[in-house]
Amino acid sequence: MTLVHTPGTEAGLLAPTAPGPSPAFRTAPEDPPMTDAATVFVATCDLAGQVRGRAVPSSDQGSALRSGTGWVPADLAISAFGPIADNVFGSRGDLRLVPDPATGVDIPADGDAPALRLYLADQTLPDGDPWPCCPRTFLRDAVEELRERTGIEVVAAIEHEFVLGGLPVSQPFSLQRFRQAEPFGSDLVRLLEQAGLQPENWLPEYGDGQFEITLRPGPALAAADRAVLLKELVRDLARRRGLPVSFAPLLAPDGVGNGVHLHLSLRDAEGRPVLFDPARPGRLSALGARFSAGILRHTPALTAWTAPSPVSFLRLTPHRWSAGGIFLAERNRESLLRICPTTQLAGGDPAAQFNLEYRAADATANPWLALGVLLRAGLEGLVRDYDEPTVWPEDTDASVLDGVPALPSSLEEALHALESDDVVRSWFDPQLLATHLSVKRSELAQLAGLDETARIRKVADVY
Ligand code: GLU
Ligand code: MG
């Protein structure tokens, strides 16, 4: 059976649910989990997509879970390359980094590298109230508001591409490259499984030394948490194996890009999929079309969050299979929003598999913010009842798609689009918005005067 949407709701929205429990943090367990590690690292992910935090002795794990560790508001203004950007916080103020027990992962001891327990944290005010600039809280609030206003639950999966350096030349997608990356690949898959990240595919990709890892879908916050953790686990293992690794959007001007693709499906309160309608263009439900319209309408501003490095827009050009323009299409890897395929093998249910893929993201983004802005934009499409967008069929001639609206051609343009989009601006605490603009402009200024190759190199050194 396929479910389209609850009949009788004029705008095609699902019945709103009663307001759920307040989005308070999960209660810390009475007894913190056992760990062999001497230290427990409590981390956040910032506007540069960097994971920063501090460690406590593991004997203090219980207290860290209950009351967090110290943190500083101005840390949010640290640019990707190190220097701190101009910011409204200055030297004043204090925060707590309060770990979410659900995010805990163990990195086992390995040779000389000691074990580590790692948690992702919410940034709170000293009294425990949410900090309005916390990126993780931004996503949690977006999920909550979508649920309260429409009854929709989000299921998401985030795919990452990256390049391993130092491997011999090999064929795209080849078993040869897969084996060259051993034992890293097998160790990575095992580590991700043990850490509960639910790896799905580990594959040699198209570009030189390029690989991709996909994780199983899960609730939005968990999917974004896993994206933060995945990159750190990959980097940590590669470091231990002496393999240079980069998630940077590009490693050479004419090279193959490393994308981050965000997959979204929407469910009603009973868990029934609501994006699928086999009678409509692209099999996309009316609700799904309006959700997509929200993303398409606000794309230029969204990219300031989803592809926010000084070189991200070199990847987002046509004929790279990244995102060649602002359009929604069935099974087309040039689209911004791709309607993904389904399979009926082994009795698979198309409605349950049906999902939309947002392709204009990369690993320089903060996953909580990237996913959060997509959900906010989709919600605007639903509640403001945006016009349904064109769904380009799979057999659309490529020449037709040359005429679709272009993505911003640079980070400067994306930041300008963000400043000009009152709807998108309204989603953010003014201090968070101002800090993001300042950090991103500082990163642009730090690379000013460098040619394309040198800018790509600087970004690759960090990601
Ligand atoms: N490497 C492409 C990108 O930059 C994606 C290729 C694919 O479809 O997997 O997004
Ligand atoms: Mg890929």
Residue 315 pLDDT > 90: yes
Residue with tokens 């009475």: 30
Three-state SS string over 349-410 comes to CHHHHCCEEEEEECCCCCHHHHHHHHHHHHHHHHHCCCCCCCEECCCCCHHHHCCCCCCCCC
The pLDDT value given to residue 326: 96
Alpha-carbon separation of residue 22 from 129, 299, 322 (angstroms): 12, 30, 38
- Mean pLDDT over each residue of the chain, to the nearest integer: 92
The pLDDT value given to residue 28: 60
pTM, to two decimals: 0.93
The pLDDT value given to residue 196: 95
The pLDDT value given to residue 33: 79
CA of 205 to the centre of ligand 2 (A): 6
- 12-16, 103-107, 410-414: the lowest-pLDDT one: 12-16
Residues around the ion ligand 2 (C-beta < 5 A) = 212
Q: Would the CB of 380 count as within 6 Å of ligand 1?
A: no
Q: Would the CB of 173 count as within 6 Å of ligand 1?
A: no
Q: What is the pLDDT of residues 49-99, one digit of tens each?
A: 999 999 999 999 999 999 999 999 999 999 999 999 999 999 999 999 999
Could you tell me the maximum CA-CA distance found in the chain, to the nearest angstrom? 63
- Residue 125 · residue 96 · CB < 8 Å: yes
Mean local confidence (pLDDT), 259-270: 97
Q: Would the CB of 298 count as within 6 Å of ligand 1?
A: no
Residue 434 pLDDT > 60: yes
The pLDDT value given to residue 24: 44
Q: What is the pLDDT of residues 157-208, one digit of tens each?
A: 999 999 999 999 999 999 999 999 999 999 999 999 999 999 999 999 999 9
The pLDDT value given to residue 232: 97
CA of 332 to the centre of ligand 1 (A): 11
The pLDDT value given to residue 402: 83
Q: What is the pLDDT of residues 378-407, one digit of tens each?
A: 999 999 989 999 999 999 888 887 889 999
Which one of 3.40.1190.20, 2.40.340.10, 3.30.590.10, 2.60.120.380 gives the CATH number of domain 138-462? Answer: 3.30.590.10
CA of 229 to the centre of ligand 2 (A): 19
Which residue has its alpha carbon closest to ligand 1 atom 6?
321
Q: How large a percentage of the chain has pLDDT more than 70?
A: 94
Residue 11 pLDDT > 80: no
CA of 427 to the centre of ligand 2 (A): 31
Q: Would the CB of 213 count as within 6 Å of ligand 1?
A: no
Q: Would the CB of 210 count as within 6 Å of ligand 1?
A: no
The pLDDT value given to residue 27: 57
**Pocket residue to mutate for ligand 1, from 333, 334, 337, 456, most atoms within 8 A of Cβ:** 333
Q: What is the pLDDT of residues 14-62, one digit of tens each?
A: 444 443 433 444 556 667 778 888 999 999 999 999 999 999 999 999 9
Query: How far apart are the C-alpha atoms of 43 and 235, rounded to whole Å?
Result: 15
Query: How far apart are the C-alpha atoms of 118 and 340, rounded to whole Å?
Result: 33
Query: How far apart are the C-alpha atoms of 174 and 82, rounded to whole Å?
Result: 37
Residue 7 pLDDT > 80: no
Query: How far apart are the C-alpha atoms of 145 and 383, rounded to whole Å?
Result: 11
- Domains of the chain, by residue range, sit at 138-462
